[in-house]
């Protein structure tokens, strides 16, 4: 098709951030704050719903919400009754698509897992459990508050509570972790039969304890070999790698995260939440960000900053997300969700194909095996 394809407004998701956790992990760079006093659950949810009303006003026409992701922090610290109040409020002000995906992040600790059945009963239909490792030594090194036995029990409880769509988060490249220990973690996860596994490398992010005081990590070559062995293991057991760090059983890809990576729109509410809203293309695509400090967010005064993604920024923004997906993207989709011509992706596309980093099949671009391993090298070609 030619460059006159009519732009289209992408699907809409809702991200809800609950910033509190029991304690801050040394590797975590998310907006999370250790609980130091009783949680003000009802007050925070009232603030979230007020925030939502403001975000919905940015939409030029009402759109149904296709997915909700409640992340943190540790949102499972909130009671099921509080989260039910939240979800009822969302449905009061917005329309949910039929069979909307509603994900809750949860930790495997005994306190949280005891509430899994209640979470399922209020309409949460996907649970994402932050396992990270099934090895007690590594869990301690990561500052996790659960142990391996609790992790195993949490998955069992999740299934018994009625969840049939469960993600397990696993990390590799942990302090002093051997390849066989990485494999054992993945084998244990596979044996529990979740529908989705997120398998990602520990990185030492700025403004974290690990960045300031780096732990002894495995050599890069050892990490790479362990990753490749585990990718093969996951594939052999029916977990399709559809994104850099995401592996899913048939029909169980995370709809919410796929919407991010496909350059979809999402409302972001809660302390530190980010959002993206397409109003008109390509000149009015808005990024939103909320105040990070919970005490400031609760006051609901000047909590949001907004900026326009310029036409010059759009090509990099698009490929930075889309090339994380194994499916890549078609030029028609690029034109549809950005309102820009395919020529605005040049010379980055052509030079990436010439370098063997991207494959081009009639205007459908995706990373080669080499390109997926060196994604940053591709993105550099789209930076002016």
pLDDT tens by residue, 3-46? 445 567 788 999 999 999 999 999 999 999 999 889 999 999 99
Give the tokens for residue 52: 């939502």
Judged by average pLDDT, the poorest of 103-112, 164-173, 204-213, 284-293 is: 103-112
Of the pLDDT bands very low, low, confident and very high (cuts 50, 70, 90), residue 292 is very high
User: Which of helix, strand or coil describes residue 202?
Assistant: coil
Task: Please state, in angstroms and rounded to a whole number, the distance separating the CA atoms of residues 109 and 25.
Answer: 14
Of the pLDDT bands very low, low, confident and very high (cuts 50, 70, 90), residue 105 is very high
Of the pLDDT bands very low, low, confident and very high (cuts 50, 70, 90), residue 280 is confident
Question: In sequence order, what are the residues at sequence separation of 6 or more whose Cβ sits closer than 8 angstroms to the Cβ of residue 231?
Answer: 199, 241
User: Which of helix, strand or coil describes residue 242?
Assistant: strand
Question: In sequence order, what are the residues at sequence separation of 6 or more whose Cβ sits closer than 8 angstroms to the Cβ of residue 97?
Answer: 64, 65, 66
pLDDT tens by residue, 261-279? 999 999 999 999 999 999 8
For domain 12-259, give the fold.
Answer: TIM Barrel (3.20.20)
Q: How many CB atoms lie within 10 A of CB 5?
A: 16
Residue 55 in this model has a pLDDT that exceeds 70: yes
User: Which residue in the block uniquely carries the two structure tokens 């972001």?
Assistant: 268
Give the tokens for residue 56: 């919905």
Question: In sequence order, what are the residues at sequence separation of 6 or more whose Cβ sits closer than 8 angstroms to the Cβ of residue 70?
Answer: 16, 18, 83, 86, 102, 103, 104, 105, 124
Q: Give the pLDDT score at 6.
A: 55
Task: Please state, in angstroms and rounded to a whole number, the distance separating the CA atoms of residues 95 and 154.
Answer: 32
Residue 75's nearest CA partner among 271, 343, 323, 279 is: 271
pLDDT tens by residue, 187-246? 999 999 999 999 999 999 999 999 999 999 999 999 999 999 999 999 999 999 999 999
Task: Please state, in angstroms and rounded to a whole number, the distance separating the CA atoms of residues 214 and 27.
Answer: 10
- Average the pLDDT over 152-161 and give the result: 97
Cite the residue boundaries of each domain of the chain with CATH code 3.20.20.70: 12-259
45, with CB counted inside 10 A (0-12, 13-18, 19+), is buried
Task: Please state, in angstroms and rounded to a whole number, the distance separating the CA atoms of residues 179 and 170.
Answer: 14
Task: Please state, in angstroms and rounded to a whole number, the distance separating the CA atoms of residues 167 and 332.
Answer: 32
Neighbouring-strand partners of residue 360? 365
Beta pairing class for 358-361 and 304-308: unpaired
Q: How many CB atoms lie within 10 A of CB 81?
A: 12
Q: Give the pLDDT score at 31.
A: 93
Three-class secondary structure assignment of 27-50: CCCCCCEECCCCCCHHHHHHHHHH
Give the tokens for residue 21: 């956790």
């Amino acid at each position: 098709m030619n460059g006159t394809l009519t732009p289209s407004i992408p699907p809409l998701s809702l991200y809800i951030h609950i910033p509190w956790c029991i304690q801050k992990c040394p590797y975590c760079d998310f907006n999370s704050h250790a609980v130091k006093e009783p949680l003000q659950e009802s007050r925070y949810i009232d603030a979230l719903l007020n925030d939502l009303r403001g975000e919905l006003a940015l939409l030029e026409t009402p759109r149904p919400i296709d997915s909700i992701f409640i992340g943190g922090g540790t949102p499972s610290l909130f009671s099921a009754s509080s989260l039910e109040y939240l979800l009822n409020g969302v449905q009061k002000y917005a329309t949910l698509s039929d069979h909307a995906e509603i994900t809750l992040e949860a930790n495997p600790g005994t306190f949280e897992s005891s509430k899994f059945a209640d979470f399922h009963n209020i309409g949460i239909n996907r649970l994402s459990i932050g396992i990270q490792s099934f090895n007690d030594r590594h869990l301690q090194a990561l500052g996790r508050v659960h142990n391996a036995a609790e992790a195993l029990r949490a998955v069992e409880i999740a299934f018994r509570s009625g969840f049939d769509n469960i993600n397990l988060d696993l990390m590799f490249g942990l302090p002093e972790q051997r390849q066989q220990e990485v494999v054992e973690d993945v084998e244990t996860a596979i044996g529990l039969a979740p529908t989705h596994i997120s398998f990602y490398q520990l990185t030492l992010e700025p403004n974290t304890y690990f960045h300031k005081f780096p732990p002894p990590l495995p050599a890069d070559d050892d990490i790479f070999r362990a990753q490749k062995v585990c990718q093969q293991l996951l594939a052999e057991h029916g977990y399709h790698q559809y994104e850099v760090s995401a592996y899913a059983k048939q029909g169980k890809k995370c709809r919410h995260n796929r919407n991010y990576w496909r350059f979809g729109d999402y409302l972001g509410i809660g302390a530190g939440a980010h959002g993206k809203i397409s109003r008109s293309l390509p000149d009015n695509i808005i990024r939103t960000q909320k105040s990070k400090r919970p005490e400031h967010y609760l006051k609901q005064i000047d909590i949001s900053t907004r900026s326009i993604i310029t036409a010059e920024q759009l090509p990099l923004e698009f490929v930075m997300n889309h090339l994380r997906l194994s499916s890549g993207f078609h030029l028609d989709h690029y034109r549809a969700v950005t309102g820009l011509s395919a020529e605005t992706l040049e010379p980055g596309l052509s030079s990436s194909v010439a370098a063997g980093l991207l494959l081009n099949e009639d205007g459908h671009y995706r990373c080669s095996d080499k390109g997926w391993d060196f994604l940053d090298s591709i993105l550099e070609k789209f930076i002016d």
